[in-house]
Structure 1
Amino acid sequence: MGETFYIKNMVCNRCIASVLDIFGKEDYTVESVELGKVSATAGKKTNKSALASKLKEIGFELIDNETETLVEQIKVKLISKIKSGETEHLFQSLAEEFGKTETALSKLFSKSEGMTLEKYTINLKIEKVKEYIQLGQLNFSEIAYSLNYKNSSHLARQFKTSTGMSMTEYKNLKSWNRKTLDKIV
Protein backbone atom coordinates (compact mmCIF):
# COMPACT_ATOMS: atom_id res chain seq x y z
CA MET A 1 0.00 0.00 0.00
CA GLY A 2 1.31 3.40 -0.98
CA GLU A 3 1.36 6.84 0.48
CA THR A 4 -1.23 9.55 -0.12
CA PHE A 5 0.11 12.88 -1.29
CA TYR A 6 -2.00 16.03 -1.19
CA ILE A 7 -0.98 18.53 -3.84
CA LYS A 8 -1.84 22.21 -4.01
CA ASN A 9 -2.93 23.88 -7.27
CA MET A 10 -4.17 20.81 -9.16
CA VAL A 11 -7.24 22.25 -10.85
CA CYS A 12 -7.69 20.47 -14.19
CA ASN A 13 -6.99 17.33 -16.21
CA ARG A 14 -3.78 18.83 -17.61
CA CYS A 15 -2.61 19.29 -14.02
CA ILE A 16 -3.27 15.61 -13.39
CA ALA A 17 -1.25 14.66 -16.48
CA SER A 18 1.65 16.88 -15.42
CA VAL A 19 1.69 15.50 -11.88
CA LEU A 20 1.50 11.90 -13.14
CA ASP A 21 4.47 12.57 -15.39
CA ILE A 22 6.56 13.87 -12.49
CA PHE A 23 5.61 10.99 -10.20
CA GLY A 24 6.62 8.54 -12.94
CA LYS A 25 9.96 10.27 -13.53
CA GLU A 26 10.64 10.21 -9.79
CA ASP A 27 10.11 6.41 -9.68
CA TYR A 28 6.70 6.31 -8.00
CA THR A 29 4.00 3.86 -9.01
CA VAL A 30 0.72 5.76 -9.01
CA GLU A 31 -2.26 3.79 -7.75
CA SER A 32 -4.88 6.52 -8.03
CA VAL A 33 -5.07 10.19 -8.85
CA GLU A 34 -7.70 12.88 -8.58
CA LEU A 35 -7.56 16.63 -8.34
CA GLY A 36 -5.40 17.51 -5.35
CA LYS A 37 -4.60 13.94 -4.35
CA VAL A 38 -2.27 11.17 -5.49
CA SER A 39 -1.85 7.72 -3.98
CA ALA A 40 1.48 6.22 -4.97
CA THR A 41 4.09 3.68 -3.93
CA ALA A 42 7.71 4.73 -3.76
CA GLY A 43 10.24 2.93 -5.92
CA LYS A 44 13.86 2.19 -5.05
CA LYS A 45 15.12 5.51 -6.43
CA THR A 46 12.49 7.83 -4.97
CA ASN A 47 13.37 11.00 -3.15
CA LYS A 48 10.48 12.93 -1.63
CA SER A 49 12.35 16.25 -1.58
CA ALA A 50 13.21 15.84 -5.29
CA LEU A 51 9.54 15.11 -5.97
CA ALA A 52 8.52 18.25 -4.07
CA SER A 53 11.10 20.30 -5.96
CA LYS A 54 9.97 19.02 -9.39
CA LEU A 55 6.32 19.69 -8.52
CA LYS A 56 7.17 23.20 -7.34
CA GLU A 57 8.97 23.95 -10.63
CA ILE A 58 5.68 23.67 -12.50
CA GLY A 59 3.47 25.41 -9.93
CA PHE A 60 2.38 22.62 -7.60
CA GLU A 61 3.14 22.11 -3.95
CA LEU A 62 3.11 19.10 -1.65
CA ILE A 63 0.90 19.78 1.35
CA ASP A 64 2.05 18.40 4.65
CA ASN A 65 -0.40 19.61 7.25
CA GLU A 66 -4.02 18.84 7.98
CA THR A 67 -5.41 22.38 7.68
CA GLU A 68 -3.81 23.04 4.28
CA THR A 69 -4.98 19.63 3.10
CA LEU A 70 -8.58 20.38 4.08
CA VAL A 71 -8.49 23.84 2.50
CA GLU A 72 -7.12 22.39 -0.75
CA GLN A 73 -9.83 19.70 -0.71
CA ILE A 74 -12.45 22.44 -0.26
CA LYS A 75 -11.04 24.32 -3.28
CA VAL A 76 -11.04 21.18 -5.42
CA LYS A 77 -14.65 20.38 -4.44
CA LEU A 78 -15.78 23.92 -5.20
CA ILE A 79 -14.08 23.93 -8.60
CA SER A 80 -15.65 20.55 -9.44
CA LYS A 81 -19.12 21.59 -8.27
CA ILE A 82 -19.07 24.86 -10.19
CA LYS A 83 -17.72 23.14 -13.30
CA SER A 84 -20.52 20.56 -13.15
CA GLY A 85 -23.23 23.09 -12.29
CA GLU A 86 -23.88 21.72 -8.78
CA THR A 87 -24.11 25.14 -7.15
CA GLU A 88 -27.40 24.88 -5.26
CA HIS A 89 -26.88 24.75 -1.47
CA LEU A 90 -23.15 24.74 -2.13
CA PHE A 91 -21.85 25.48 1.36
CA GLN A 92 -24.33 23.15 3.01
CA SER A 93 -23.24 20.27 0.77
CA LEU A 94 -19.57 21.05 1.45
CA ALA A 95 -20.19 21.02 5.19
CA GLU A 96 -21.91 17.65 4.91
CA GLU A 97 -19.10 16.19 2.77
CA PHE A 98 -16.39 17.30 5.19
CA GLY A 99 -18.37 16.57 8.37
CA LYS A 100 -18.08 20.13 9.66
CA THR A 101 -20.42 23.08 10.02
CA GLU A 102 -20.59 25.76 7.34
CA THR A 103 -19.25 28.25 9.91
CA ALA A 104 -16.29 26.02 10.80
CA LEU A 105 -15.36 25.55 7.14
CA SER A 106 -15.69 29.26 6.46
CA LYS A 107 -13.50 30.23 9.43
CA LEU A 108 -10.88 27.64 8.55
CA PHE A 109 -10.78 28.79 4.93
CA SER A 110 -10.61 32.50 5.82
CA LYS A 111 -7.83 31.98 8.33
CA SER A 112 -5.78 29.91 5.90
CA GLU A 113 -6.35 31.89 2.68
CA GLY A 114 -7.03 35.44 3.85
CA MET A 115 -10.28 35.45 1.86
CA THR A 116 -13.75 34.30 2.81
CA LEU A 117 -15.10 31.09 1.36
CA GLU A 118 -17.97 33.07 -0.14
CA LYS A 119 -15.61 35.53 -1.89
CA TYR A 120 -13.50 32.66 -3.23
CA THR A 121 -16.66 30.99 -4.59
CA ILE A 122 -17.79 34.23 -6.22
CA ASN A 123 -14.36 34.58 -7.85
CA LEU A 124 -14.61 31.02 -9.19
CA LYS A 125 -18.06 31.75 -10.58
CA ILE A 126 -16.88 34.99 -12.20
CA GLU A 127 -14.06 33.11 -13.94
CA LYS A 128 -16.63 30.56 -15.13
CA VAL A 129 -18.79 33.42 -16.44
CA LYS A 130 -15.78 34.79 -18.33
CA GLU A 131 -15.26 31.33 -19.85
CA TYR A 132 -18.92 31.13 -20.92
CA ILE A 133 -18.76 34.62 -22.43
CA GLN A 134 -15.59 33.73 -24.29
CA LEU A 135 -17.16 30.55 -25.69
CA GLY A 136 -20.21 32.52 -26.81
CA GLN A 137 -22.58 29.56 -26.51
CA LEU A 138 -24.91 30.94 -23.82
CA ASN A 139 -26.62 34.28 -23.34
CA PHE A 140 -26.32 36.10 -20.02
CA SER A 141 -29.59 34.70 -18.63
CA GLU A 142 -28.51 31.15 -19.47
CA ILE A 143 -25.14 31.75 -17.83
CA ALA A 144 -26.88 33.02 -14.68
CA TYR A 145 -29.20 30.02 -14.65
CA SER A 146 -26.32 27.54 -15.16
CA LEU A 147 -24.52 28.97 -12.12
CA ASN A 148 -27.70 28.99 -10.00
CA TYR A 149 -28.11 32.74 -9.69
CA LYS A 150 -31.62 33.91 -8.80
CA ASN A 151 -31.61 36.14 -11.89
CA SER A 152 -29.24 37.63 -14.43
CA SER A 153 -29.33 41.03 -12.68
CA HIS A 154 -27.76 39.50 -9.58
CA LEU A 155 -25.00 37.98 -11.69
CA ALA A 156 -24.52 41.26 -13.59
CA ARG A 157 -24.06 43.22 -10.33
CA GLN A 158 -21.62 40.64 -8.97
CA PHE A 159 -19.67 40.59 -12.23
CA LYS A 160 -19.39 44.39 -12.31
CA THR A 161 -18.34 44.52 -8.65
CA SER A 162 -15.65 41.89 -9.22
CA THR A 163 -14.28 43.03 -12.58
CA GLY A 164 -15.14 46.73 -12.74
CA MET A 165 -17.03 46.29 -16.02
CA SER A 166 -20.33 44.96 -17.22
CA MET A 167 -20.61 41.55 -18.87
CA THR A 168 -21.39 43.28 -22.17
CA GLU A 169 -18.26 45.44 -21.88
CA TYR A 170 -16.25 42.33 -21.12
CA LYS A 171 -17.77 40.50 -24.09
CA ASN A 172 -16.93 43.38 -26.42
CA LEU A 173 -13.31 43.57 -25.26
CA LYS A 174 -12.28 40.48 -27.19
CA SER A 175 -8.97 40.55 -25.28
CA TRP A 176 -10.22 38.57 -22.33
CA ASN A 177 -8.33 38.70 -19.08
CA ARG A 178 -9.00 35.44 -17.26
CA LYS A 179 -7.28 34.17 -14.14
CA THR A 180 -6.21 30.57 -13.83
CA LEU A 181 -8.15 28.82 -11.08
CA ASP A 182 -5.04 28.21 -9.00
CA LYS A 183 -4.35 31.98 -8.93
CA ILE A 184 -7.69 33.05 -7.45
CA VAL A 185 -6.32 32.97 -3.91
Structure 2
Amino acid sequence: MERTLLIKNMVCDRCKTTVLELLKTEGFKVQSVALGEVVVKDASKKDDIRLKTALQAIGFELIQEEADVLVEKMKLALIKQMDKGDADFILSKIAEDLGKHYSFLSKTFSQLEGITLEKYLINLKIEKVKEYIQLKQLNFSEIAYSLNYKSSSHLAKQFKSITGMSMTAYKKLQESDRKGLDKIV
Protein backbone atom coordinates (compact mmCIF):
# COMPACT_ATOMS: atom_id res chain seq x y z
CA MET A 1 0.00 0.00 0.00
CA GLU A 2 1.32 3.45 -0.93
CA ARG A 3 1.41 6.30 1.58
CA THR A 4 2.16 9.93 0.97
CA LEU A 5 4.26 11.51 3.69
CA LEU A 6 4.60 15.27 4.02
CA ILE A 7 7.92 16.55 5.23
CA LYS A 8 8.58 20.05 6.52
CA ASN A 9 11.69 22.03 5.47
CA MET A 10 12.19 20.29 2.12
CA VAL A 11 12.80 23.38 0.02
CA CYS A 12 15.36 22.42 -2.63
CA ASP A 13 16.74 19.56 -4.70
CA ARG A 14 19.47 18.87 -2.13
CA CYS A 15 16.75 18.43 0.48
CA LYS A 16 15.03 15.88 -1.76
CA THR A 17 18.30 13.98 -2.20
CA THR A 18 19.04 14.03 1.53
CA VAL A 19 15.58 12.78 2.47
CA LEU A 20 15.70 10.09 -0.24
CA GLU A 21 19.04 8.82 1.08
CA LEU A 22 17.71 8.77 4.63
CA LEU A 23 14.59 6.85 3.63
CA LYS A 24 16.62 4.26 1.74
CA THR A 25 19.01 3.89 4.69
CA GLU A 26 16.02 3.38 6.99
CA GLY A 27 14.68 0.66 4.69
CA PHE A 28 11.72 2.48 3.15
CA LYS A 29 10.60 1.62 -0.38
CA VAL A 30 10.42 5.04 -2.01
CA GLN A 31 8.09 5.49 -4.98
CA SER A 32 8.68 9.21 -5.55
CA VAL A 33 10.13 12.33 -3.94
CA ALA A 34 8.99 15.91 -4.50
CA LEU A 35 9.42 19.10 -2.49
CA GLY A 36 7.76 18.45 0.84
CA GLU A 37 6.30 15.13 -0.24
CA VAL A 38 7.45 11.52 -0.39
CA VAL A 39 5.46 8.52 -1.57
CA VAL A 40 6.53 5.28 0.09
CA LYS A 41 5.33 1.72 -0.32
CA ASP A 42 4.57 -0.74 2.46
CA ALA A 43 5.14 1.72 5.32
CA SER A 44 2.96 1.45 8.38
CA LYS A 45 2.02 4.04 10.98
CA LYS A 46 4.47 2.30 13.34
CA ASP A 47 7.30 3.35 11.02
CA ASP A 48 6.34 7.01 11.53
CA ILE A 49 7.97 7.21 14.97
CA ARG A 50 11.30 5.93 13.66
CA LEU A 51 11.08 8.15 10.58
CA LYS A 52 10.12 11.21 12.63
CA THR A 53 13.22 10.82 14.80
CA ALA A 54 15.53 10.22 11.84
CA LEU A 55 14.16 13.24 9.95
CA GLN A 56 14.50 15.54 12.97
CA ALA A 57 18.16 14.53 13.32
CA ILE A 58 18.87 16.06 9.89
CA GLY A 59 16.64 19.15 10.19
CA PHE A 60 13.36 17.92 8.70
CA GLU A 61 10.02 17.18 10.26
CA LEU A 62 7.29 14.66 9.49
CA ILE A 63 4.00 16.53 9.23
CA GLN A 64 0.95 14.74 10.54
CA GLU A 65 -1.56 17.37 11.65
CA GLU A 66 -3.97 18.61 8.97
CA ALA A 67 -3.31 22.29 9.72
CA ASP A 68 0.45 21.75 9.49
CA VAL A 69 -0.06 19.98 6.17
CA LEU A 70 -1.97 22.97 4.79
CA VAL A 71 0.67 25.44 5.94
CA GLU A 72 3.45 23.38 4.39
CA LYS A 73 1.54 23.11 1.12
CA MET A 74 1.11 26.90 1.08
CA LYS A 75 4.82 27.46 1.68
CA LEU A 76 5.80 24.96 -1.00
CA ALA A 77 3.43 26.53 -3.54
CA LEU A 78 5.03 29.94 -2.95
CA ILE A 79 8.58 28.58 -3.07
CA LYS A 80 7.84 26.72 -6.31
CA GLN A 81 6.47 29.91 -7.86
CA MET A 82 9.60 31.81 -6.84
CA ASP A 83 11.80 29.08 -8.30
CA LYS A 84 9.88 29.29 -11.57
CA GLY A 85 10.43 33.03 -11.62
CA ASP A 86 6.69 33.62 -11.30
CA ALA A 87 6.48 36.41 -8.73
CA ASP A 88 3.09 37.40 -10.14
CA PHE A 89 1.61 34.58 -8.12
CA ILE A 90 -1.67 35.57 -6.52
CA LEU A 91 -2.12 34.31 -2.97
CA SER A 92 -5.80 33.59 -3.53
CA LYS A 93 -4.72 31.06 -6.20
CA ILE A 94 -3.27 28.93 -3.41
CA ALA A 95 -6.74 28.68 -1.89
CA GLU A 96 -8.18 27.68 -5.23
CA ASP A 97 -5.47 25.04 -5.76
CA LEU A 98 -5.98 23.63 -2.26
CA GLY A 99 -9.78 23.75 -2.46
CA LYS A 100 -10.10 25.94 0.63
CA HIS A 101 -11.30 29.47 1.31
CA TYR A 102 -8.47 31.99 1.34
CA SER A 103 -9.57 33.45 4.68
CA PHE A 104 -9.37 30.00 6.30
CA LEU A 105 -5.89 29.35 4.88
CA SER A 106 -4.67 32.82 5.83
CA LYS A 107 -5.94 32.46 9.39
CA THR A 108 -4.47 28.94 9.73
CA PHE A 109 -1.10 30.12 8.40
CA SER A 110 -1.00 33.09 10.79
CA GLN A 111 -1.96 30.99 13.81
CA LEU A 112 0.67 28.32 13.18
CA GLU A 113 3.52 30.47 11.87
CA GLY A 114 2.98 33.70 13.81
CA ILE A 115 3.21 35.71 10.59
CA THR A 116 0.68 36.50 7.87
CA LEU A 117 0.81 34.72 4.54
CA GLU A 118 1.39 38.06 2.84
CA LYS A 119 4.34 38.88 5.11
CA TYR A 120 5.78 35.41 4.45
CA LEU A 121 5.59 36.07 0.70
CA ILE A 122 7.34 39.42 1.17
CA ASN A 123 10.09 37.74 3.20
CA LEU A 124 10.47 35.13 0.47
CA LYS A 125 10.82 37.88 -2.13
CA ILE A 126 13.42 39.69 -0.03
CA GLU A 127 15.50 36.51 0.19
CA LYS A 128 15.22 36.21 -3.59
CA VAL A 129 16.42 39.82 -3.90
CA LYS A 130 19.44 38.96 -1.74
CA GLU A 131 20.17 36.01 -4.02
CA TYR A 132 19.94 38.18 -7.14
CA ILE A 133 22.21 40.82 -5.59
CA GLN A 134 24.82 38.18 -4.70
CA LEU A 135 24.73 36.70 -8.19
CA LYS A 136 25.34 40.18 -9.66
CA GLN A 137 23.41 39.30 -12.81
CA LEU A 138 20.62 41.88 -12.56
CA ASN A 139 20.52 45.54 -11.63
CA PHE A 140 18.01 46.77 -9.03
CA SER A 141 15.39 47.75 -11.62
CA GLU A 142 15.61 44.32 -13.27
CA ILE A 143 15.30 42.64 -9.89
CA ALA A 144 12.18 44.70 -9.08
CA TYR A 145 10.67 43.85 -12.45
CA SER A 146 11.44 40.13 -12.12
CA LEU A 147 9.70 40.03 -8.74
CA ASN A 148 6.66 41.95 -10.00
CA TYR A 149 7.21 45.15 -8.03
CA LYS A 150 5.60 48.30 -9.42
CA SER A 151 8.89 50.16 -9.15
CA SER A 152 12.43 49.69 -7.91
CA SER A 153 11.79 52.34 -5.25
CA HIS A 154 8.93 50.25 -3.83
CA LEU A 155 11.25 47.26 -3.64
CA ALA A 156 13.99 49.40 -2.10
CA LYS A 157 11.64 50.63 0.65
CA GLN A 158 10.41 47.13 1.37
CA PHE A 159 13.96 45.73 1.39
CA LYS A 160 15.08 48.37 3.86
CA SER A 161 12.08 47.87 6.15
CA ILE A 162 12.73 44.11 6.31
CA THR A 163 16.54 44.03 6.44
CA GLY A 164 17.31 47.40 8.02
CA MET A 165 19.70 48.32 5.22
CA SER A 166 19.52 49.57 1.67
CA MET A 167 20.05 47.24 -1.28
CA THR A 168 23.23 49.16 -2.10
CA ALA A 169 24.57 48.63 1.44
CA TYR A 170 23.67 44.95 1.20
CA LYS A 171 25.48 44.70 -2.14
CA LYS A 172 28.64 46.12 -0.50
CA LEU A 173 28.63 43.52 2.30
CA GLN A 174 31.47 41.02 2.15
CA GLU A 175 29.33 38.28 3.65
CA SER A 176 25.64 37.77 3.01
CA ASP A 177 23.06 37.26 5.70
CA ARG A 178 20.71 35.21 3.57
CA LYS A 179 18.28 32.90 5.33
CA GLY A 180 17.49 29.39 4.24
CA LEU A 181 13.96 29.12 2.86
CA ASP A 182 13.06 26.83 5.73
CA LYS A 183 14.04 29.59 8.18
CA ILE A 184 11.74 32.28 6.80
CA VAL A 185 9.09 33.08 9.37
Which TM-score band applies after superposition, normalised by the shorter structure? over 0.9
**Deviation digits for residues 26-50 of structure 1 (CA, Å, limit 9, x no counterpart):** 1111111111110101369x83322
Contact 1:68 1:112 in 2 (8 A): yes
- Aligned pairs, number: 184
Q: Which moved more, 1:19-28 or 1:102-111?
A: 102-111
List gaps (5 residues or longer) in structure 2.
none
Q: CA RMSD in A?
A: 1.5
Q: Report the secondary structure of 2:169's partner residue.
A: helix
Q: Which residue of 2 aligns with 1:39?
A: 39
Distance in structure 2 (CA, Å) of the matches to 1:78 and 1:56: 23
Aligned to 1:165: 165
The CA deviation string for residues 105-141 of structure 1, in whole angstroms up to 9 with x for no partner, is: 2111001111000111111000000000000000001
How far apart are the structure 2 equivalents of 1:102 and 1:138? 34
Aligned pairs for 1:115-130 within 5 A: 115-130=115-130
Question: Where in structure 2 are the equivalents of 1:1-185 lying within 5 Å?
Answer: 1-42=1-42, 47-185=47-185
- DSSP 3-state at the match of 2:31: strand
TM-score by length of 2: 0.95
The residue type equivalent to 1:87 in the other structure is: A
Alpha-carbon separation, structure 2, partners of 1:89 and 1:57: 34
Separation in 2, partners of 1:128, 1:51: 32
Q: Give distance in 2, aligned partners of 1:99 and 1:47.
A: 30
Counterpart Cα distance in 1 of 2:137 and 2:66: 41
| Contact preservation (8 Å) 2:127, 2:178 | yes
Q: Percent identity?
A: 56
Secondary structure of residue in 2 paired with 1:47: helix
Q: Answer yes or no: is the 8 Å Cα contact 1:27–1:43 preserved in 2.
A: no
Q: How far apart are 1:155 and its partner, in Å?
A: 0.5
What's the TM-score once normalised by structure 1's chain length? 0.95
Contact 2:30 2:40 in 1 (8 A): yes
| Runs (5+) with no aligned partner, structure 1 | none
Distance across 2 between alignment mates of 1:95 and 1:3: 24
